[in-house]
Copies of this chain bind each other. A is one copy, B any other.
Amino acid sequence: MSLLERFYQKDELALSRLISYVENQAPDYYKILSSIYSRTGKAYRIGITGPPGAGKSTIVDKLSNYLAQNGDQVGIIAVDPSSPFTGGALLGDRIRMQDLTTRKGIFIRSMATRGSLGGLAFTTKEVSLLLDAFGKNYILIETVGVGQVELDIADTCDTTLVVLVPESGDSIQGMKAGLMEIADILVVNKADREGAKRIVSELDMILDVRRKKGEWCYPIVSTEAINNKGIDELLKRILEHRKYITEKGLLEKHRKEQIKSELKKIVEVRIKELIEKYLGDTNIEKIAEKVYSGQEDPYSAGERILEKLNLKLE
C-alpha cells in the first residue's frame, strides 16, 4: 500500500512521513500536495503568537484539550523560527507538549526549518494542508512573535491570537505594537501576576482605535493557562470570531487572498528550484569569480542569466 493510500486511511505514521517529505521539499513533493488538495478546505486555522515565555505552548495545550473533548480533530504545528540547535526553554515546552500526542485526536508537529525555499511560512502552510486533508478540523499554529514570521503566520491563519503577559511591558514595546496589528483576539496570560490589570487597560486603550474602525470587538481574554483558567472563555471568543468572519464573508475573501499568495509562492519556489539547478556548482562559481575580480557586476550578470532563461511572458 502506498504512503498516500495509508494517509487516506488515517495512518498517523504516513501523515508524519508525508510532512517530512513536504518539509524537506523532496522530489515531486508538490505532486503529493496536488493529489491531496481536493480534500482540503475544511480545517479552521488558529494562529497563536507572542513573545518568548508568554505561555503560548500551555495555551495551545489546554485549547487543544477542550477541542478534542468536543470531538474535534486537532493538528498542532509548533513553529520555532530560531535555530534547530536551540535548546533551553523552547525545547522544554516541546518535550512537555509531546504528552499531547498520546491523546486522542491530537497530532503535534514541531518545525524548526531555516532557509527552506519559500521560507518557513510556506512550509507551514503546506504542512497545514496535509493536516487538513488528513481530517483535522482545527489546526493550531504556534510561533514566537517577532519579525516577518508572525506576520506570515497571521496570513496563513483564520483567527490570530496574540498572547502577552503582565511582564510584557517596556522592553518589548516595539514587539507588542507589531503584534497588536495582527491580533484578532488578545490574551493576557499569567493574569494572576502583578501588573495584569494595568496591561489589560493599556491594551484596551490601544484596541479602541481599531474597534472604532471595524465591527469586530477585538476582545481581551485574561487566562491562567497553567491552571486551565480562562480557556473556556478564550475558546468561546475564537468561535465568535469564526462566526463573525464567516457571516461577513471575510473568511471567503481571506481564503481567496491566501490562494493568490499561495499561487505566487508555488511558482516562485519552483522557479527557484530550477535556478538552483541551472546555477549549481560550476556555473555560479565562474560568475562569482568574475564579479569578485571586478570583471562584471552582479546585476549585469543577473540580467545575462535572465536572458538565458528566456522567460516568455505573454
Which residues of chain A in 38-55 are interfacial with respect to chain B, using CB atoms and an 8 Å cutoff?
38, 41, 51-53
Question: A120 near B: Cβ within 8 Å?
Answer: yes
Please state if A88 and B173 are interface contacts (CB–CB under 8 Å): yes
CA distance A82 to B308 in the complex (A): 38
A84 → B minimal CB distance (Å): 10
From B90, B171, B255, B274, A292 is in contact (CB under 8 Å) with B255
CA distance A231 to B148 in the complex (A): 32
Please state if B311 and A271 are interface contacts (CB–CB under 8 Å): yes
From B82, B256, B277, A174 is in contact (CB under 8 Å) with B82
Write the A172-188 contact mask toward B (1 if CB under 8 angstroms, else 0).
Answer: 11111110010000000
Question: A30 near B: Cβ within 8 Å?
Answer: yes
CA distance A233 to B91 in the complex (A): 35
Please state if A309 and B313 are interface contacts (CB–CB under 8 Å): yes
> Cβ of A81: which chain B residues have Cβ within 8 Å of it?
146-148
Please state if A268 and B268 are interface contacts (CB–CB under 8 Å): yes
CA distance A156 to B107 in the complex (A): 39
Which residues of chain A in 269-300 are interfacial with respect to chain B, using CB atoms and an 8 Å cutoff?
270-272, 274-279, 284-285, 287-289, 291-292, 294, 297-300
A296 → B minimal CB distance (Å): 9
Write the A101-123 contact mask toward B (1 if CB under 8 angstroms, else 0).
Answer: 00000000000001000011000
Please state if A306 and B151 are interface contacts (CB–CB under 8 Å): no
From B120, B267, B279, A264 is in contact (CB under 8 Å) with B279
> Cβ of A149: which chain B residues have Cβ within 8 Å of it?
147-148
Question: A262 near B: Cβ within 8 Å?
Answer: yes
> Cβ of A51: which chain B residues have Cβ within 8 Å of it?
171
Q: Which residue of B lies closest to A276 (CB)?
A: B264
Write the A65-107 contact mask toward B (1 if CB under 8 angstroms, else 0).
Answer: 0000000000000001111011111110000000000000000
Provide a sorted-by-A list of 5 A–B residue pairs whose CB atoms are within 8 angstroms: A33-B297, A51-B171, A90-B173, A267-B305, A271-B311
Across the A-B interface, the 4 shortest Cβ-Cβ residue pairs: A88-B173, A37-B297, A82-B178, A266-B302
| Besides A88-B177, A309-B313, A311-B311, 4 other A-B contacts (C-beta < 8 A) | A51-B171, A53-B171, A81-B146, A148-B148
